[in-house]
A and B are shown apart, each in its own frame.
Chain A
Amino acid sequence: MQLKRTMGIGVLVLVMALILSACAGIAPQAAAPAGEPAAASETTTITWAFWGSPEEAASHKMVADAFMAEHPEIQIEIWNQPWDDYFTKIQALWASGDTKVIPDVAFLWPTPRYAAEGVLENLDPYIAASGYNLDDYWPGLLESAKYQGSVYGFPRDIEVNVIYYNKDMFDAAGVAYPSDDWTWDDFLAAAEKLTQKDANGVTTVYALAAEGGKWAKWVNQNGGAILDDYVNPSKCMLTDPASVAGIQFFADLMNQGYAMRPADLNQAGGDAAVFMSGQAAMILQNTSRVSAFNAAGMNYDVAPAPIPAGGKRWNGAGGAAWVMSSGSDNKDAAWTFIEWLQSTNGGEKIYTERGEIFPALQSVANSPAFMTDQPPANKQAIITEAAASDVGGFGYFPEWGELSGSIIDPGLERVWAGEVDAETALADICTQVDQFLADNGYPK
């Protein structure tokens, strides 16, 4: 509540958009060293937008340099923003409609939301013309970058959630390391032994720390679903008994004190922090934690996630994608760059070697770029989970972000906080989801 005017709020949105578009014009900075001679007249310059920390930006710059070495006719200008600012700023660039400032290639999530706004280029004609191989992507992954059946982006990586476990803590508790085919029952048995509680029954060491957002794994493993169709949904499926049981399994882990509640996990600094400090023996997370744990010299390994009896292995197929702006003034050069980024020996390889990603391309995952002798030893566990990738983690229609962000995830937070059981919360959520779908004209 700083200084505010009565009228101020009516204009919040617009003023922000106007100011942002005014500031955006000066943002791009050249990736090339300042001392480099002026580009020859036949070079094409394309702007490349991504979010990321300084470390991530260093990898991106390496990729840009490698590309420019192979393609001297194309110059890459980098436009880098922190995650918190990236989306509002890039929206302002697109909203300006000015081809001079619109990035030609951008990193984006979720693709369908932006494709529906008409700011992204349909990549189908480029794929057809160049014969680009779509079969190298993990199953279901490209669905996350499609809109109305056409490809609008190439996911750079795939989120593969596996169990990381602290070998020292398993040894101390006398628990056998997880096998590649362990079940929910095996997991519960291990969790009971790994959890340590004080005299009042309050957990001091947790068996598992998992973000609330990982819940879709339990639902899909158990044969449940979020929606009946993830492109053109007609109804919520979370009240299905298999879905309810999946959510309740996660909730019970918390209610029994085996798993940290997501709000507590957040306060404790996230899963990497509690895993490294020994507050949790296991975490369920994607491969982004590997470099931190290796740098800390932890004695750990990974295992596939446990699956329920009669259930199936499932990994949600999704990852942020490289897209081309429909307002790009250098589409051919932009395509050349995107195609190179997403090739076995191009950008994918560099990102993978630097430990930034688990690659979207199966050929890169099975190459020495990923199969190194660095920990974790059980890299096959990651491949196993990745091969079980499928749709089911999120919707591929433009309103999904609003539906999940305003209704589904907030509704589940009450379950994670232990305030209501899964059945009650999901009944409430599904009522709201069905109303939301009807309100937005689904099924279309």
Chain B
Amino acid sequence: MTPHTASRRPFRWRPDQQWEGYLFILPSFLGFLIFIVLAVVMSLGISFSEWGLTGFKGFAGLTNYQQLMRDPVFWQAFWNTAFYIVTIVPLQLALGLIMAVGLNQAIRGVTIYRLIYFMPVVTTIVAGAIVFRLLLATNGPVNSLLASIYGVAGIPFSAPNWLGSSDFSKWSVVILTLWKNTGFTMVVYLAALQGVPKELYDAAHTDGASAWQRFRHVTLPLISPTTFFLFIFQMIGAFQLFSEPFVMTRGGPANSSLSVVQYIYLAAFRDIRMDKAAAMAWVLFVFIFAFTLFQNWTQKRWVHYESD
């Protein structure tokens, strides 16, 4: 027993006190057991079964997974989701950081700007999607603006069909997602920026570092734990993208904007294939888990913690 714990009582079961503690956590723990643990375990079981509306119909072994691997729509949804990840995550981090740096200055009305940029985060996605559907209509304001810009530049312009063509539909979803979520990234970055000690900037300034060098060698390393957090968080979010394509394009045209989670939803509730949906959910989970582990492993190379 080390000296500083000598005054404490050694650990032992004290039913009179612990009983109450367990009682306090019981409601949420029960909820966790039923709605998370039980559901997760069951979904794994379902993915290896034949499972319909009324429940268990028989063991299926790997059949659901094999069917999935042969399903072209699943792969299309898979690559669409990959597209969402590689576009949304970097863009969101970059835009969020730029906005945060801009709004970290002492400018007049900065709170108003912060409010404006954060507003989409708390706006209903369906309302946002309706507005964006109008903005991105073939003869809508966005195309009119593009047409006039092209017109001034003298470049021939053919109006993109943002929602109705398989070349642009994914970009419409990306645009809506960025509008919706970048404000959150900005707020988290703002908090991180305000945690960077001012004396480090002063020191760098004294050493003759330019503004860019200060940003690159002081700001970026010091906010890298935040970047790491946001990266993981946004990547998982992009893996699980559902509402944005669901309300914006319904996954179309030609499944060109269908996300994996949307396909899980369709398999479960349109096709009543709970087994296939569960198998897809687990495939998705394995990918998310693997990517998160990989990120966690690479963080040594680029994430700087102050205590290091």
Cβ contact within 8 Å between B55 and A13: no
User: CB-CB contacts of A86-126 with B at 8 A, as 1s and 0s?
Assistant: 01100100110100000000000000011011110000000
Cβ contact within 8 Å between A399 and B54: no
Q: In the complex, what distance in Å separates the CA atom of A14 from the CA atom of B166?
A: 32
Cβ contact within 8 Å between B270 and A14: no
The answer to the question of A149 belonging to the interface, with a C-beta cut-off of 8 Å to chain B, is: no
Q: In the complex, what distance in Å separates the CA atom of A364 from the CA atom of B36?
A: 53
The answer to the question of A439 belonging to the interface, with a C-beta cut-off of 8 Å to chain B, is: yes
Task: Please give, as numbers and ranges, the residues of chain B lying within 8 Å of A13 by CB-CB distance.
Answer: 43, 264, 268, 274, 277-278, 281
Chain A, interface size category, equals 35 or more
Cβ contact within 8 Å between A263 and B285: no
Cβ contact within 8 Å between A1 and B255: no
In the complex, the chain B residue whose C-beta lies closest to that of A264 is B138
Task: Please give, as numbers and ranges, the residues of chain A lying within 8 Å of B237 by CB-CB distance.
Answer: 1-2, 4
Task: Please give, as numbers and ranges, the residues of chain A lying within 8 Å of B138 by CB-CB distance.
Answer: 263-264, 267
Task: Please give, as numbers and ranges, the residues of chain B lying within 8 Å of A416 by CB-CB distance.
Answer: 253
A4-B237, A7-B285, A9-B285 known; A14 vs B43 contact (CB < 8 Å): yes
Task: Please give, as numbers and ranges, the residues of chain B lying within 8 Å of A97 by CB-CB distance.
Answer: 54-55
Most chain A CB inside 10 Å of its own CB: which residue of B55, B253, B282: B253
The answer to the question of A298 belonging to the interface, with a C-beta cut-off of 8 Å to chain B, is: no
The answer to the question of A8 belonging to the interface, with a C-beta cut-off of 8 Å to chain B, is: yes
Q: How far is the CB of A12 from chain B (nearest CB, A)?
A: 6
Cβ contact within 8 Å between B164 and A264: yes
Q: In the complex, what distance in Å separates the CA atom of A318 from the CA atom of B260?
A: 31
In the complex, the chain B residue whose C-beta lies closest to that of A1 is B237
The answer to the question of B200 belonging to the interface, with a C-beta cut-off of 8 Å to chain A, is: no
The answer to the question of A37 belonging to the interface, with a C-beta cut-off of 8 Å to chain B, is: no
Q: How far is the CB of B159 from chain A (nearest CB, A)?
A: 9
Task: Please give, as numbers and ranges, the residues of chain B lying within 8 Å of A374 by CB-CB distance.
Answer: none
Q: In the complex, what distance in Å separates the CA atom of A405 from the CA atom of B252?
A: 11
Q: Which of A7, A114, A405 contacts B266 (CB 8 A)?
A: A405
Cβ contact within 8 Å between B266 and A267: no
The answer to the question of B86 belonging to the interface, with a C-beta cut-off of 8 Å to chain A, is: no
Task: Please give, as numbers and ranges, the residues of chain B lying within 8 Å of A113 by CB-CB distance.
Answer: 271-272
Chain B, interface size category, equals 35 or more
The answer to the question of B240 belonging to the interface, with a C-beta cut-off of 8 Å to chain A, is: yes
User: CB-CB contacts of A230-258 with B at 8 A, as 1s and 0s?
Assistant: 00000000000000000000000000000
In the complex, the chain A residue whose C-beta lies closest to that of B274 is A13
The answer to the question of A411 belonging to the interface, with a C-beta cut-off of 8 Å to chain B, is: yes
A9-B285, A416-B253, A417-B253 known; A88 vs B269 contact (CB < 8 Å): yes
The answer to the question of B213 belonging to the interface, with a C-beta cut-off of 8 Å to chain A, is: no
The answer to the question of B152 belonging to the interface, with a C-beta cut-off of 8 Å to chain A, is: no
Task: Please give, as numbers and ranges, the residues of chain A lying within 8 Å of B285 by CB-CB distance.
Answer: 6-7, 9-10
Cβ contact within 8 Å between B40 and A10: yes
Chain A positions 376-423 with a Cβ under 8 Å from a chain B Cβ: 399, 401-402, 405-407, 410-411, 413-414, 416-417, 419
A10-B40, A119-B53, A267-B133 known; 18 new pairs, CB 8 Å cut-off, are A1-B244, A6-B292, A10-B284, A11-B281, A13-B268, A14-B43, A94-B54, A95-B53, A114-B272, A116-B52, A117-B54, A118-B52, A261-B164, A399-B271, A402-B271, A413-B252, A419-B167, A435-B72
- The interface of chain A, by Cβ under 8 A from chain B, is 1-2, 4, 6-19, 87-88, 91, 94-95, 97, 113-114, 116-119, 261-264, 266-267, 399, 401-402, 405-407, 410-411, 413-414, 416-417, 419, 432, 435, 439
Closest 7 CB pairs of A and B: A263-B164, A1-B237, A413-B253, A11-B39, A117-B53, A402-B271, A14-B39
- The interface of chain B, by Cβ under 8 A from chain A, is 34-36, 39-40, 42-44, 46, 52-55, 67, 70, 72-73, 133, 137-138, 161, 163-167, 177, 180-181, 234, 236-241, 244, 251-255, 261, 264-274, 277-278, 281-282, 284-285, 288-289, 292
User: Can you list 19 A-B contacts with CB-CB less than 8 angstroms, sorted by A residue number?
Assistant: A4-B237, A6-B289, A7-B36, A11-B40, A13-B264, A87-B269, A87-B270, A91-B53, A118-B52, A118-B53, A119-B54, A263-B161, A264-B164, A266-B164, A267-B138, A399-B271, A402-B266, A405-B271, A414-B254
